[in-house]
Amino acid sequence: MLSDQLDAGRDYRQLKAAVGIHLLDFDLFNDGEKQQQQALWRFEMRDETQPEVRLGNELQLNIIELRKADRLAHEDDTLHDWITFFEHWQEDARMATISHEPIKQAVNRIRQLSGDEEAKRLAFVRERALHDEASLMHDAREEGREKGREEGRLKEKRDTTRNMIALSTLTDEEIATITELSLVEVQQLRK
């Protein structure tokens, strides 16, 4: 996001902040009571040896641990309403208590999508496509690993065959039987 803003000759001080907001459906920081009582985290870039020297808020990472934030009931009403939306959007009674208009619109949009058969079908197709893609990528990686192992075994056989040719008085037929290579391949390696 920052690099897209950099044109030739542009002053770095004119950069707009690149802010990442990550909503987690699990608790990431749980070491000790202090971490268990904090659900909103903001990380900025600081120097490792002099942490008081920082780049400012141009690069920041904000993390909201939703379950913890819901449990701790954050003081900011709007933020708490959004947390409630992400954690309890399926609970009609709970969502009816929220008066923040953008959240009401989000709830209505979800209801429209879940009631629309075509939208459900498209969501299902998209979800299935994502699963298929992940499976294909996994299979391709496994196939690549297996191919690499097979090539490694073949290289070992050929190296063993070369050593046997150089160090023994065995015939090409005997070497082919021992190494499980074809007689033609053993003869080619001997050449």
18 in a structural domain: yes
Judgement on whether residues 14 and 82 belong to the same structural domain of the protein: yes
User: In this predicted structure, what is the pLDDT of residue 157?
Assistant: 86
Rounded alpha-carbon distances, angstroms, from residue 144 to 24, 39, 155, 181: 33, 42, 16, 23
Q: Rounded distance, CA 65 to CA 121, Å? A: 31
In a domain, 138, yes or no: no
Question: Phi/psi at 160 (nearest 5 deg)?
Answer: -60, -40
φ, ψ (nearest 5 deg) of residue 182: -75, 155
Domain range for 186:
150-190
Spatial strand order in the sheet of 40-44: 18-24, 59-65, 40-44
- Are 154 and 189 in contact by the 8 Å Cβ rule? The answer is no
50/100 same-domain check: yes
Claim to verify: residue 154 and residue 112 sit in the same structural domain: no
Q: How many domains does the chain have?
A: 2
- Do 59 and 109 fall into the same domain? yes
Specify the pLDDT at position 23: 93
**Residues of the chain predicted below pLDDT 50:** none
Residue 57, pLDDT score: 72
Q: Residue 130 domain-assigned?
A: no
pLDDT score of 13: 67
Establish if 86 belongs to a structural domain: yes
The residue from 92, 116, 140 where one domain ends is 116
